[in-house]
Amino acid sequence: MIVAVCSLGGAPGVTSLATALAAAWPSSPVTVPVLVEADASGGDLAAWHGIDLHDSPAGVVSLAAASRTPVPVSLPADVWAEAGVEGASSAHAPLVNHAVELPGGLRVVPAPADPLEAGRAVDVLAHNPSLLRTGRVSVVDVGRAVPGSAGALLVRHADVVVVLTQAGDVGHAARLRACAPILASLREEGARVGLAITGPCPHSDGEVSKVASGLPVWARIPHDPTGAGLVQGEYRPPARLRDRLAAWWSERRDPDSLEWMPLIKAAKSLAELCDDFSGLGLSHEEQKEQDLGMSKEQRDSTVVNIA
Q: 235, 103 in Cβ contact below 8 A?
A: no
Name beta bridge partners: 101.
Answer: 107
CA–CA separation, 86 vs 108, rounded Å? Answer: 28
- Residue 158's CB is within 10 A of a number of other CB atoms, namely 25
Q: Which of the residue ranges 30-34, 43-47, 163-167, 289-293 would you say has the lowest mean pLDDT?
A: 289-293
The CATH number given to whatever domain includes residue 183 is 3.40.50.300
* Structural domain count of the chain: 1
Q: 195, 208 in Cβ contact below 8 A?
A: yes
pTM of this prediction? 0.77
Domain assignment of residue 60, given as a range: 2-305
Q: Which amino acid is at 258?
A: L
pLDDT tens-digit readout, 272-286: 999 987 544 343 444
Burial of 41 from C-beta contacts in 10 A (0-12 / 13-18 / 19+): middle
Residues 6+ apart with CB under 8 A from 34: 22, 92, 95, 96, 99, 107, 108, 109, 135, 137, 138, 139
Per DSSP, 197 falls in state E
pLDDT tens-digit readout, 34-72: 999 999 999 999 999 888 888 777 899 999 999 887 655
